[in-house]
Structure 1
Amino acid sequence: MREPEFQDRYEGGRVLADHLRRHARQPGTLVLALPRGGVPVGAEVARKLGVPLDVFLVRKLGTPGHEELAMGAIASGGVRVLNREVVNELNIGREQIEAAARREAVELQRREESYREGRPPPNVRGRTVLLVDDGLATGTTMRAAVAALRLLEPAAIIVAVPVAAAESCESLAQVADEVICVRMPEPFYSVGLWYRDFAQTEDDEVRALLAEATREGAASEAQPSA
């Protein structure tokens, strides 16, 4: 078994930022991190690149009786995507879909309110979005995030992670405009194995990182241009 690739998510974010240098201080570029583990990574990327940070919340819609199987997802901005293949194959009715969506919407709304603390979600239309997480195992959540984000009409979606399973990176390349996977160790097993410290990211940490990024962005805008 190889040694972990990164000390923690913050180091993963700094290394990832080095692979995204061409986006540094580019107008219209935005980092959207997937909570919760993606936020420390995204915070370092945004800080090093000098671009805004926000979160993009995704909640999987589990198939009735087989909750681990996604029949779709809901996301920030009131977006909903359905996996029509799963819905049709399992003959899932509209009422079942609506019930699952209502349940997940409650948690999504709770997190939106908790993390943003009154700040409105960003307008991504026409912008280059760096969609960041701490890693990709199956890539299911990230695929749902890309599909949902696409409906909000960004100019480009770049999936970026410090570590991932190679097959997940290849799969996501079919739906994202670009995929940056810094490390693709084999065998992969799980994301957490490649961090020495993979302690759960708590809501307080997410709020603090977002608030700090907002303050830094406001301070930067307030500085007179050269």
Structure 2
Amino acid sequence: MFEDRADAGDRLAAELERRGLEADVVLGIPRGALPVAKPVANALEADLDIVVARKMGAPGNPELALGAVASDGTVWRNDALIDQLDVSEAYVEDVRTMEADNAREKLARYRETDELPDLAGARVVVVDDGVATGATATACLRQIREADAASLVLAVPVGSPSAVDSLRSEADDVVALRTPENFRAVGQFYRTFGQVSDADAIDYLES
């Protein structure tokens, strides 16, 4: 159990240091990842920045992810679920376009540009506060791959075993402090897991 996101970040940073991991940039997935990513970036003496993706919600159930799309349009689709729910390609394309626009708007709100930092040749660590389905993390990792990063590591305090396993094919390494079999939601492993506002998340980037 983590006390809060800052505690999770401290523990994650300690594990990455123990492994001797080196990084040029740490990218948090806003908003909840920024309090976790800040101590990681500090420990690794790396720049702190963001990468943004948005979940593509199912018809009538926006919390159910048909996939996710990053700010540049890079997409991950859960084709099995799309087929199971008999979702039309027109719907999938509409929601992909809408959420890609939303991701670009969020990126611009945080960075004052809708472009990622230059990651070509960089050693990149992506941090989230946890992974449930891994949808948004997958879209983020694929975008960073397209940016020609030299190395790509995903680091999270906690994740579902199935999501963490699937993400191993998207990064050079995945570091998860906990992968409990009884995983139901990220928040169950934090004593305090309140919402992180945009203003607070931006403060982490600017401090």
TM-score, length-scaled by structure 1 = 0.78
Q: CA offset at residue 100 of structure 1?
A: 2.0
Task: Give yes or no for the alignment of 1:190 onto 2:185.
Answer: yes
Question: Highest Rg: 1 or 2?
Answer: 1
Task: Give yes or no for the alignment of 1:80 onto 2:80.
Answer: no
Following the alignment from structure 1 to structure 2, what is the Cα–Cα distance between the partners of residues 119 and 210?
A: 16
Amino acid across the alignment from 2:107 = E
Q: Is the CA contact 1:9–1:40 (under 8 Å) kept in the aligned structure 2?
A: yes
Q: Is the CA contact 2:104–2:114 (under 8 Å) kept in the aligned structure 1?
A: no
The aligned residue for residue 175 of structure 2 is: 180
Following the alignment from structure 2 to structure 1, what is the Cα–Cα distance between the partners of residues 31 and 169?
A: 25
Following the alignment from structure 2 to structure 1, what is the Cα–Cα distance between the partners of residues 137 and 60?
A: 23
Following the alignment from structure 1 to structure 2, what is the Cα–Cα distance between the partners of residues 88 and 7?
A: 37
Q: CA offset at residue 132 of structure 1?
A: 0.5
Q: Is the CA contact 2:124–2:152 (under 8 Å) kept in the aligned structure 1?
A: yes
Q: CA offset at residue 8 of structure 1?
A: 0.8
The aligned residue for residue 10 of structure 2 is: 14
Task: Give yes or no for the alignment of 1:105 onto 2:103.
Answer: no
- What SS class does the counterpart of residue 23 from structure 1 fall into? coil
The aligned residue for residue 111 of structure 2 is: 116
Amino acid across the alignment from 2:4 = D
Deviates more, 1:180-189 or 1:113-122: 113-122
Task: Give yes or no for the alignment of 1:134 onto 2:141.
Answer: no
**Structure 1 residues 192 and 68: alpha-carbon distance in aligned structure 2, compared to 1, 3 A threshold:** closer
Over aligned residues, Cα RMSD in angstroms?
Answer: 2.5
Task: Give yes or no for the alignment of 1:23 onto 2:17.
Answer: no
Task: Give yes or no for the alignment of 1:163 onto 2:161.
Answer: no
- What SS class does the counterpart of residue 54 from structure 2 fall into? strand
Task: Give the number of aligned pairs.
Answer: 203
Deviates more, 1:133-142 or 1:145-154: 145-154
Q: CA offset at residue 120 of structure 1?
A: 5.8
Q: CA offset at residue 14 of structure 1?
A: 0.9
Q: CA offset at residue 67 of structure 1?
A: 4.2
Deviates more, 1:177-186 or 1:116-125: 116-125
Q: Which runs of 5+ in 2 are unaligned?
A: none
Q: CA offset at residue 101 of structure 1?
A: 3.1
Q: CA offset at residue 87 of structure 1?
A: 9.5
Amino acid across the alignment from 1:79 = G
- What SS class does the counterpart of residue 180 from structure 2 fall into? coil
Q: Is the CA contact 1:40–1:209 (under 8 Å) kept in the aligned structure 2?
A: yes
Following the alignment from structure 1 to structure 2, what is the Cα–Cα distance between the partners of residues 200 and 127?
A: 31
Q: CA offset at residue 143 of structure 1?
A: 2.0
Task: Give yes or no for the alignment of 1:49 onto 2:47.
Answer: no
The aligned residue for residue 58 of structure 1 is: 53
Q: Which runs of 5+ in 1 are unaligned?
A: 213-226
The aligned residue for residue 219 of structure 1 is: none
Amino acid across the alignment from 2:21 = H
Runs of 4 or more above 6 Å deviation: none
Deviates more, 1:83-92 or 1:122-131: 83-92
Amino acid across the alignment from 1:46 = A
Deviates more, 1:35-44 or 1:169-178: 169-178
Cα-to-partner distance string for 1:51-77 (whole Å, 9 max, x where unaligned)? 00111000123345564454443313x
